[in-house]
């Protein structure tokens, strides 16, 4: 799976995913102010799964009907970087092969894959 990490997820998440061996790019390396719609288009063009903490991606996928290659929305607003890294590592280790093409939400210790 190829992954695109949104600025909202943070550099620690990008580094942790890369360390797990995933082909990972970070939006901040191209343009930290890139609009979400452009991030979504980039991810589709390169068949990348988006990891984000930005709820606007749900709006783009469900209400605007934009195509996606998969999105993981991490609802970890108050979490420290170490906790975020532990969560993403666990998700990718347990569910990595099931995520592509789905809109996924992690919140309160639970992962929903739609």
d(Cα 48, Cα 24) in Å, to the nearest integer?
A: 9
9-58, pLDDT tens digit by residue? 989 999 999 999 999 999 999 999 999 999 999 999 999 999 999 999 98
Per-domain residue ranges of the chain: 2-113
* CATH architecture of structural domain 2-113: 3-Layer(aba) Sandwich (3.40)
Rg (CA), the chain: 13
59-113, pLDDT tens digit by residue? 888 888 888 999 999 999 889 999 999 999 999 999 999 999 999 999 999 999 9
């Amino acid at each position: 799976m190829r992954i695109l990490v949104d600025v909202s997820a943070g550099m620690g998440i990008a580094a942790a995913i890369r360390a797990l061996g995933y082909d990972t790019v970070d939006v901040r390396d191209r343009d930290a102010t890139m609009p979400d719609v452009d991030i979504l288009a980039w991810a589709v063009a390169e068949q990348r799964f988006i990891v984000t903490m930005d709820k606007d991606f749900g709006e783009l996928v469900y209400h605007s009907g934009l195509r996606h290659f998969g999105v993981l929305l991490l609802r970890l607003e108050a979490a420290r970087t170490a906790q975020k890294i532990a969560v993403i590592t666990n998700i990718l280790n347990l569910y990595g092969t099931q995520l592509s093409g789905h809109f996924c939400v992690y919140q309160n210790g639970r992962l929903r894959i739609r």
